[in-house]
Amino acid sequence: MNRKTIFILLALFLLPIILRFAWYFPGFYLPQKIETPDYANLKMPQAPVSTPQPEEIKQTGGIVFADYSHANQFQPGEIQTLSDALARRGASLELNTDSTTLESQLKRASAYVIISPSIGFTADETRIILDFERRGGRLAVFTDATRGLIYSDSFSGTTANFPDSNIVNPLLKSFDISFDNDYLYNLTDNEGNFRNVFFEQFGKSDLTWGLKKVVLYGARSVKTDSGLGLLVGGDKTFSSQTDAAPNNDSKQGWAASALSADGNVLAVGDFTFMQTPFNTVADNNILVNNIADFLLSGRRKIALSDFPYVFNGSTASLLMTANVQMTAEMTGALSRLQSKLNTLSIDMQVSQSAPESGNLVVLGTFSPSEDLTKYIESYNLTLDDASEFIEIPQFGKLGRAGNGLVLFKAGQNGTTLVLLADTTDDLVVLMDTLSGGSLSGCVIQNDIAICSIGFGGKFSTGETPTPDGTPTPAAGAG
């Protein structure tokens, strides 16, 4: 065989191989380099360093009540940092577990705190809270997007969500504040998770003093027209309801906290930031301290209806005017009143002369002495020994027998209570009424309370006061 033949044979041999190869493989797949994530260099995001708490803390004292009677979705331990911050200011945080005691408790409260309730407030409770705020009490309302109540019905397979925002919004309506039923998130700049949102824009307020960066954890957005947005998110912070900035305007930011126009109502869409360890992130601890200051710095106007919580400070003087006799019964009544005030941490001392300032309890009769006059002249009472009646503006004529008067005056330097009755014996009964801890048997109108104390002279349990003794407000009295 020559070379030519060999080539032909070789071609014949290769032909089916080439044909088959070509039948199946029109080309070649070139191996490629595949990139995968750089797992080794993935790092867990770290929390911003905590800012230390303020060094100087003003001892303001006070009592803050936290609502715990509306199936509130928190455990007391979760607000321990707030409780501690209040304690450092000489104040205490107490839980209100029975809404029927709300009114009496708010009498001595600096502030009322509501956290994630799941039962609505009754009209009466709302009235009490609004009245408390109107007189200068501080109100702080916290909701939390992670604390809504969820009921699952295994029978129907449906789930119902009861967000806390629906509970508090009717209450906050009066203050032009409302929570959205949403949560805020930021996908690009967050504290370890999209729902842990940084806040670096702050409304100008004592509540935001010293803040540079705050982190809230699953916060609801807060809206107010007349009030002030306190914690405002960045342009990439969105609401879960719209997945966008407010009104789709990236220049605006969602607020997670707001202050009412009168400065007495604080609304915050999260309270996780107060919990350990989240309170130690960024400036959260400063915010907790600022909130504690806010709760204790209300200018609450004390009213006679707040009795017995009408005194500021821890001391009170008692002045007996000339017509009051120090009988054995009076000694007993003084002792009981002193004991009552002691339970309120107020030390009452009998004084021979009127102190220039401080709390004062003045005892007198309807037959005024000179030393009593200066305490009652502003009330324009008409006290005439010849008459069986005394005359009180707003009330009209009042029988001397069986009635006692409590006159109230609150000043910056202390509170003055003037107790008046027809005789020393009646005054003893009036003092015992007050030692009972309330003015429930009294008609209260502004700064004057008229108390039925029996039937002239000695208190008589078996008889009813005469109609003459019942106070009758004058027409048009307001």
Partner 1 sequence: MKNFEIPPQERSRFLWWAIPALIIGVLFSLLIPKPVIGVIRLNDAIYASTAKELIAQIAYARQHPEIRAVVLILDSPGGTVVDTEAVYMELARLRMEKPVITWVSGMAASGAYYLSSGTDYVVAVPSSEVGNVGVIGYLPPSPFIFEDIISTGPYKLWGSPRDTTVREIEMLKQGFYQAVKLGRGDRLKIGPDTLLRGQIWPGSEALRLGLVDQLGSETDAYNRAARMARIWNFDTKDLYNAAIYGSTANVYGFFLQTKEGVTLPYPSRPGLYMLYIPPLPVEQK
> What residues line the site for partner 1 (CB under 8 A)?
1, 4-5, 8-10, 12-17, 19-21, 23-29, 31-39, 42-47, 150, 152, 157-163, 166, 181, 187-188, 192-194, 196, 236, 243, 277
Alpha-carbon distance 266 to 434, whole Å?
A: 35
Nearer to partner 1, 9 or 477 (CB): 9
Alpha-carbon distance 297 to 299, whole Å?
A: 6
What are φ and ψ of residue 393, in 5° steps?
A: -55, 145
At closest approach, how far in Å is the CB of 180 from partner 1? 12
- Work out whether the CA dihedral 231, 199, 180, 145 comes out positive or negative: negative
- Phi-psi region at 426: left, alpha or beta (left = phi > 0; alpha = psi -120 to 50): alpha
Nearer to partner 1, 281 or 304 (CB): 281
Three-state secondary structure call for residue 456: coil
End-to-end CA distance of the chain: 137
Nearer to partner 1, 13 or 412 (CB): 13
At closest approach, how far in Å is the CB of 159 from partner 1? 5
Alpha-carbon distance 257 to 208, whole Å?
A: 10
At closest approach, how far in Å is the CB of 225 from partner 1? 24
Distances (CA, A) of 351 to 21, 355, 475: 119, 8, 40
At closest approach, how far in Å is the CB of 154 from partner 1? 8
Alpha-carbon distance 310 to 302, whole Å?
A: 6
Judge contact between 139 and 258, C-beta under 8 A: no
- 410-439 as b/e, with b when 16 or more CB fall inside 10 Å? beeebbbbbbbbbbbbbbbbbbbbbbeeeb
At closest approach, how far in Å is the CB of 214 from partner 1? 17
At closest approach, how far in Å is the CB of 171 from partner 1? 17
Nearer to partner 1, 37 or 476 (CB): 37
At closest approach, how far in Å is the CB of 37 from partner 1? 4
DSSP class of 66: E
- Do you find a cis peptide bond into 467, omega within 30 degrees of 0? no
Nearer to partner 1, 189 or 468 (CB): 189
At closest approach, how far in Å is the CB of 29 from partner 1? 5
Three-state secondary structure call for residue 17: helix
What are φ and ψ of residue 324, in 5° steps?
A: -95, 130
Nearer to partner 1, 101 or 159 (CB): 159
Nearer to partner 1, 163 or 308 (CB): 163
Nearer to partner 1, 23 or 475 (CB): 23
